[in-house]
Structure 1
């Protein structure tokens, strides 16, 4: 080894930067977030974008109970991607986070903690405790969301318990009352007997339940077709009408049997195989054989047939109550299951209720709020919970001989989304929004189809189907913790006073004192001026006890937040939530908005899937597959989680596991190390003005790299505009891995390390690195806000550049570097390079060479490529990092799939330069530096002249 080895090494420009290889995100990120707060980064961004076009992503309120989970973390990170990318596209995009702070889960928790003490407290005292509980979790979740790097107005979020918000809710209610959408009626609604409150469709979960499936013969009284009686020699009282039900407990409320007017029904005489009795019954003709087979009835025959409409107004007797009821017509009856005759209880079913209204049937519901039978039911059922009563009903029917068959049936059944227990249909007096009043449904569908852009597009069809089929919206709940429906009950006649005018009176009261005033003040102190009963003219009232559905509350945020005190502007540019919100917040928002303003509250909807494990299973503690968002952030850092989320197509369910986090960690390390390499070679770059670089000094490969960067900018900006963050990730990561790390940066090392520090060749290379750093830092800032900020801070950007990358805007492609002909030529060069590198692998394996620099290559090219490659021979040697390349003419290019180039390689015969390690023919020609190549002699000589010491 030469005695000059050490000084030669010291003449190299080796990378140096304080940008650490180890990210240490769990420690670094909180410190950076604290700095953002100290310097009011969010406020700076608002001031910087003031006057720009506004695009608001309106935050759907998460529920204020418990730590955040991976689903809520995913949601908030996606929102932050949208908001940050909109801001960097030049829009004014404020983000006001919010929380849903009312509702049953909070009230449940408080009541559970109170235990027996709860009975001694009034509703106002319970509400005080609920408020404390809700605000506690707001603070917890706010800290956890901020830890994810989500930038927003965290010091002034919107809360549904805020006076301003409560007033906004009642303001929407007033508008809907004025539009005559709101009404009160005795109707069957989904009722949770555990929580003892009404439920909306959005509050239901469906899962399989096994129920007793009963076939019951109801005794006929009159109306059996005369032809059947004549043919059979029977009387009407000898006949039955067979119904099928999976809810035996609803039979006490039966007041009709429904048949389809156009279906064919058969009068069937059969011999019961158990009792031996001859029974005559009415069945859907298409189901006779199937029903007979269920009980293995061999002896049966049809007496006659008729259309369903011929049975209308026929009468039957209830099997265990002294009640005669009619057979009625209904178009929903089918012969797909059951018997073709539908047991009808208007007090316990939606379709039954509608049929009951047509035929003016009584609405019976002998069930109390706890789901137990009242004194209106038979005495042998009183006090029993409805589900516990099923066996009793079955036993009674069996004993009376009216039961044809009982069999278990597993079917999808609605459950309360909070307590997870089965719900029932129960008729109660409730407040409703009529979705078909004043064509609310039709106008809402029109907005969905024509006024809203859907990401992904299938979201439109999903919500269309739900809105098309949804029943009237039950908006009243029987709880304490929420905004009251400000209805006044007349003490004289029990009529309800609730108008747009009275609602606006209470809106103003709630804005001033909050909804608590309803519960804490005597009714006399809060009455609207000149309040009179609409029915009897009375002036004495009581406060009614229902509160508004929390979906109505959250769905009113377009008034309370967008058009209210936060002045964000109506409508919002985007709502972004999980796919379950097509039946939840998206739907409650658009219904209340169309009803009160005539238009949708959002211009676009972005929907993401659910978080599942790597097997596609829903995360649950019982399965042991839960990945804690809080712990994962503490262990890996927010930027790693954000990178993982950005890599996934949110339109489908998002698979998150320890493995996916580990894969994201590896990808993050690659990105970080690339930034470190860029910064390490730009340590001295700030010593001169980038604008002084003579662009004529840029090498051919530099032009190519900048052209490739242009394409990355175009692709990534397009992906951001479409909110396809996984394409942002994949395009940038591919560029980091393929074009940069595996090619351009590798080729650049010789120039960066071995050329003169301030010489034009190295400065040209640094100019490109500077551009790469500037552009890629900004493109990644919405996804990796902490790492982008850290990297940005290590490189002074000069006048006109903001101190924080998050105050910058996205880069634009620079047309100076676009050259399709060059890119086409480089396509040939890259293909030739691939062929050469493949040949070098063989030399490495047999130990002929240790690195590409030791190799000399001969490449045979088809005539069409010969001149181009010969002209670019030195460039090809440079990008392949070999000693030399010889280009020879070969056969014409083969058909598709064949090898275009043939390569032979051998060890170079040239000497190795001690300083740059390249094998060059000029090594040894200089007497003073016999171990150096010509380039390195020039560089060390120039350095020695500048620094004689």
Structure 2
């Protein structure tokens, strides 16, 4: 091509880079957002518009580690909500927060240095939390998450802590708090009681044993059978020193039988359904059934403890099953929730001869066991049972057993004096509020309903130092629960922080609060789930930009038994309703084998899961695109190989924005816009498609279906734009006159597409969309200050879409015919082909096929002729024309170039 012709070609021009270079450019853009106070500008704009408010309340992550991909998934999902709701016309203030107290931090601090005083533990814990708040804040900001990062809420702030204490005061005032000695999940590794959410389950092998409890002579005579024993089965031999009873089900049928074998003869009481299992485990056989009776007939009979000199009462319990064992359950009220509850019904008392370290105390009644750890005592207990001749069988039992999530040690159920919230006083209202809340996905409703329905009373005291103090005093060893005193403590904490509770002596504290002398402070702290569960009071009610209840809570699925539930209970106690209108739960990030990704496992495997690794290697927009591409309702598979796959759609989306920008060179939307009525068919079609895409994406954002947004935009760019529209209009964009109606129509369409596409992508590709918006000559401000596009009613009909859909079917057949001729070496390229098409009568796209100019452009061929005939057929030959040196199309030439190019060159 001569230089003169080259200069007349309107090639795309834009400074928007082809390569994202995200790792370098994103921090620069982030710094600009901060220097220009972009988040504050967005909020101010919506407030000025009196926009409706939407409150997403941030569930606080623990300030105890780097941001891993699970946390990144959560925070980016929240940001997709914030940005999409903002661009949908809402004011969406986002106040991020951190959970700063509790075992995770204190455990690490104490691990590093033993023997610290409480004040020093708290000082170091504060520093530890502050360190990771800064690290996590930096990661969240680097991920492009918008929020009031300079004013987050921290559960260790005095103002926050004071509100927690005030909520506690109301609980006391309403009579919901009480003290009792009852079994709790005790971590001997961390020396504290644990909440259910602080427990994780691991596989464990325990010794399971079958033991006989001989009936007393009086009990045997009442049954009319001498020397009978009731058989029990347990997987916790160490709890037998605390046995006070044996439970049977009132409605089950029990066999009193003569069992022989394995060198022994026994008369045993066993539930009928498990006789065969007992025989299999013990090597005995049932010789004779002496009697059958209902469990209720055994009530209040007595057996003898198998190795201690005391009776064991037979009682009734509906929790007894016939799944395994013997149908008779050994009851130790000091070591189990069901045991404790049924023990209270029968006034058995509570025996829990175990200390904070998990070692037996003198109360166990067996000198050999005193000072020995309970799990190490199983074998000695079995030896004693063997010596006494009461062990019927033993075997190893593989089961899932609760462990402390921090110390990783198995827990023990142990009765200790603790403070509790009575769940029964809150349960009915909580269940009703669950029914009023929207749960996304819908199965979340059943999950939390089930956990609340079955939840026991809440143990809220922790034997720890780093947390909000339990504001209770003791007088002569008895707890004094007083709401007014707790409120005085709250006022003091608001001024001086909770350290004051640990730093002042009992006498000084009483003096500061105006209390009588002689009272002593409780040394416990409140369960950390009370802390975060009060955020709806300490944050939503107290922050001027927020409201309670929140429109949305969004966390991982484990929070049905964690933050969702603790917040619900505290809100019901505080204001009588749920703290949220909707709750969205997402799945865990898992590896390719569907195993939950944890930091410890990642360290073992050498596979990074820290978000920083990925945004420093690929860029934050790739992380965000990954989040948008996953199905958050289920487990989210993750791995570096899977992550790399996201780079391809990113390149496609970025390249589409670049092509659109390049083709908009010289376009003035004010002067050059072409009306819908003057649009050529192909441009009408792409704008009809845009109309549908905009509508679908807006509905998907509204329903938090970010994956659908990703798929809609990716498909639109890959199929409609790249594969059809941009390819088909390339000739007119390069070679038509700059101000031709046809070219300006395409620029009008591309302008609308770019403007809509960039705004729809903005919540997902936060950095790239803003960068592209900045390179457009006709835009102002940041893309994040814009509204989502509205579907254009002028292109709602879909008439062009139906015709183009038919033409795409025909194009497939035409292309196949062309490729066959290329293989036959009749010519080399599409644009050398001359096509003769025969279509049936009534062909819906006939008018467009009969428009030779349109058809040659759409099929990218040199000639096109259509006739109506009997059967559809395609015939392809090489065009007779020469190639125009300007546009490289095969057309009749006029003075060296084609007629179209001649006219353009003449006017240039």
> Shorter-chain TM-score category?
over 0.9
User: How far does residue 873 in structure 1 lie from its aligned partner after superposition?
Assistant: 4.4
Partner of 1:399: 387
SS at match of 1:302: strand
Alignment check: 8 A CA contact 2:66 2:610 kept: no
Q: Please state whether the residue corresponding to 1:80 is helix, strand or coil.
A: helix
Deviations 1:373-420, CA, capped at 9 Å, x for gaps: 011111110011110000110111011101011111111211112222
- Spell out the pairing of 1:527-566 with structure 2 (5 A cutoff): 527=510, 539-565=517-543
Q: Secondary structure at the match of 1:660?
A: helix
**Match for residue 756 of structure 1?**
737
Structure 1 runs, 4 residues or longer, greater than 6 Å off: 528-532
Match for residue 423 of structure 1?
A: 411
What's the secondary structure of 2:342's corresponding residue?
Answer: helix
Query: Which residue number in structure 1 is paired with residue 169 of structure 2?
Result: 174
Could you tell me how far 1:294 is from its partner in structure 2?
1.8
> 1:844, CA displacement in angstroms?
3.0
Q: Where does residue 55 of structure 1 map in the other structure?
A: 54
Q: Identify the match of residue 10 of structure 1 among 3, 7, 10.
A: 7
- Do 1:164 and 1:565's aligned partners in 2 also have CA atoms closer than 8 Å? no
**Residue 932 of structure 1 pairs with residue 903 of structure 2:** no
Residue 471 of structure 1 and its aligned partner are, at CA, apart by 1.2
1:842 aligned onto 2:820 = yes
Q: Decide which of 26, 36, 41 is 1:39's aligned counterpart.
A: 36
**How far, CA to CA, are the matches of 2:440 and 2:269 in structure 1?**
52
CA offsets, 1:168-224, max 9 Å, x none? 211221222222221111110111110011011111112221111110111221453
Residue 795 (str. 1) matches residue 776 (str. 2):
yes
Is residue 2:270 matched to residue 1:283?
yes
Q: 1:156 aligns to what?
A: 151
Q: Where do 5+ consecutive residues of structure 1 fail to align?
A: 533-537, 893-900, 944-949
Match of residue 191 from structure 1: 186
Q: Cα distance, 1:37 vs. partner? A: 0.3
Q: CA deviation at 1:227?
A: 7.1
Residues 1:676 and 2:658 aligned together: yes
User: Are 2:641 and 1:659 aligned?
Assistant: yes
The equivalent of 1:581 in structure 2 is: 559
Q: Give 1:684 deviation, angstroms.
A: 2.0
Task: Please tell me whether residue 911 in structure 1 is matched to residue 890 in structure 2.
Answer: no
Give the structure 2 partner of residue 614 of structure 1. Answer: 592
Q: Please provide the CA RMSD for this pair.
A: 1.8
Q: Tell me, what secondary structure is at the counterpart of 2:202?
A: strand
**In 1, are the aligned partners of 2:306 and 2:390 still within 8 Å (CA)?**
yes
CA distance in 2, matches of 1:566, 1:135: 25
Q: Contact 1:219/1:240 (CA < 8 Å) preserved in 2? A: yes
Task: Give 1:527 deviation, angstroms.
Answer: 3.2
In structure 1, what is the equivalent of residue 857 of structure 2? Answer: 878
Partner in structure 2 of residue 727 of structure 1: 708
Q: What's the CA shift string for 1:410-431, capped at 9, x where partnerless?
A: 1121111222221110001111
Conserved? CA contact 1:571–1:600, under 8 Å: yes
Partner Cα separation in structure 1 for residue 344 and residue 823 of structure 2: 87
In the TM superposition, residue 691 of structure 1 has moved relative to its aligned partner by 6.4
Aligned residue number for residue 485 of structure 2: 502
Within the candidate set 887, 891, 895, 2:866 is matched to 887
Q: Indicate if the aligned counterparts of 1:505 and 1:528 stay in contact, CA closer than 8 A.
A: no
Aligned to 1:535: none
- For 1:599, the equivalent position in structure 2 comes to 577
- Given that 1:914 and 1:932 are in contact with CA atoms closer than 8 Å, whether structure 2 keeps it comes out as yes
Counterparts of 1:870 and 1:8, CA distance in 2: 31
| Alignment partners' CA distance in 1, 2:839 and 2:275 | 82
TM-score, structure 1 as length reference: 0.92
The aligned residue for residue 782 of structure 2 is: 804
1:384 equivalent among 372, 384, 387 = 372
Alpha-carbon distance in 2 for matches of 1:476, 1:747:
71
In structure 2, what is the equivalent of residue 895 of structure 1? none
* 3-state SS of 2:277 partner: helix
Partner of 2:465: 480
Using the TM superposition, give the Cα deviation of residue 760 of structure 1 relative to its aligned residue in structure 2, in angstroms: 3.0
Q: Secondary structure at the match of 1:607?
A: strand
Distance in 1 separating the partners of 2:583 and 2:218: 55
Distance 1:616 1:848 in 2: 54
CA distance in 1, matches of 2:95, 2:656: 35
- Residues 80 and 364 (structure 1 numbering): CA distance in 2 closer, same or farther, change over 3 Å? same
Q: Which residue of 267, 271, 282 corresponds with 2:260?
A: 271
Distance across 1 between alignment mates of 2:672 and 2:847: 33
DSSP 3-state at the match of 1:914:
coil
Unmatched 5+ stretches in structure 2:
none
Q: Structure 1 residue 834: deviation in Å? A: 2.3
1:70 to partner: Cα distance: 0.6
Name the SS of the counterpart of 1:915 in structure 2.
coil
Show the counterpart of 1:29.
26
Distance in 1 (CA, whole Å) between partners of 2:471 and 2:612 is: 40
| Deviation string, structure 1 residues 124-167 (Cα, Å, up to 9, x no partner) | 12101110111011001111111111111111111110111101
Preserved contact between residue 219 and residue 303 of structure 2 (Cα < 8 Å) = no
Q: CA deviation at 1:606?
A: 0.9
Say which SS state the counterpart of residue 830 (structure 1) adopts: helix
1:275-424 map, 5 Å? 276=264, 278-298=265-285, 300-377=287-364, 378-424=366-412
**Aligned equivalents of 2:406, 2:534: Cα separation in 1:** 22
Note the C-alpha offset of 1:361: 0.5
Segment drifting more, 783-792 vs 202-211 = 202-211
| 8 Å contact kept, 2:510–2:517 | no
Q: Give yes or no for contact 2:220–2:228 (8 Å, CA) kept in 1.
A: no
Whole-Å separation in 2 of the counterparts to 1:752 and 1:860: 30
Structure 2 counterpart of 1:261, from 221, 244, 250: 250
For residues 76 and 752 of structure 1, the distance between their equivalents in structure 2, rounded to whole angstroms, comes to: 42
Q: Distance in 1 between matches of 2:483 and 2:543?
A: 21
Q: Which residue in the other structure is 1:897 paired with?
A: none
Paired with 2:671 and 2:772, the residues of 1 have a C-alpha distance of 18
The alpha-carbon distance between structure 1 residues 566 and 200, as it changes in their structure 2 partners (threshold 3 A), is farther
Matched residue, 2:434 = 448
Question: 1 CA distance for matches of 2:742 and 2:842?
Answer: 32
Q: Secondary structure at the match of 2:842?
A: helix
Aligned residue number for residue 99 of structure 2: 100
SS of the equivalent of 2:165 reads helix
- Name the SS for the 1:347 alignment partner: coil
CA contact (8 A) 1:223 1:311 kept: no
Q: Secondary structure at 1:388's aligned position in 2?
A: coil
Q: Residues 870 and 23 (structure 1 numbering): CA distance in 2 closer, same or farther, change over 3 Å?
A: closer
Is the contact made by 1:853 and 1:918 (CA closer than 8 Å) also made in structure 2?
yes
Q: Distance in 2 between matches of 1:549 and 1:348?
A: 21
TM-score, normalised via structure 2 length: 0.97
Instruction: Quote the offset at 1:460 in angstroms.
Output: 1.1
Q: Distance in 1 between matches of 2:513 and 2:40?
A: 47
The count of aligned residue pairs is 900
Cα pair 1:912 1:931 within 8 Å, conserved: no
**Conserved in 2, the CA contact under 8 Å of 1:56 and 1:572?**
yes
* Contact 1:217 1:241 (C-alpha < 8 Å) held by counterparts: yes
Deviations 1:277-297 (A, max 9, x none): x32222112222321222221
Contact 2:306 2:385 in 1 (8 A): yes
Tell me the alpha carbon deviations over residues 600-646 of structure 1, each in whole angstroms, 9 at most, x when there is no partner.
10111111101112332333223444433211110100001111110
Relative distance call for 1:551 and 1:365 in structure 2 (3 A) is: same
Residue 627 of structure 2 corresponds to residue 627 of structure 1: no
Distance 2:634 2:689 in 1: 31
Deviations along 1:33-53, one digit per CA (max 9) or x if unpaired, are 000000000110110111211
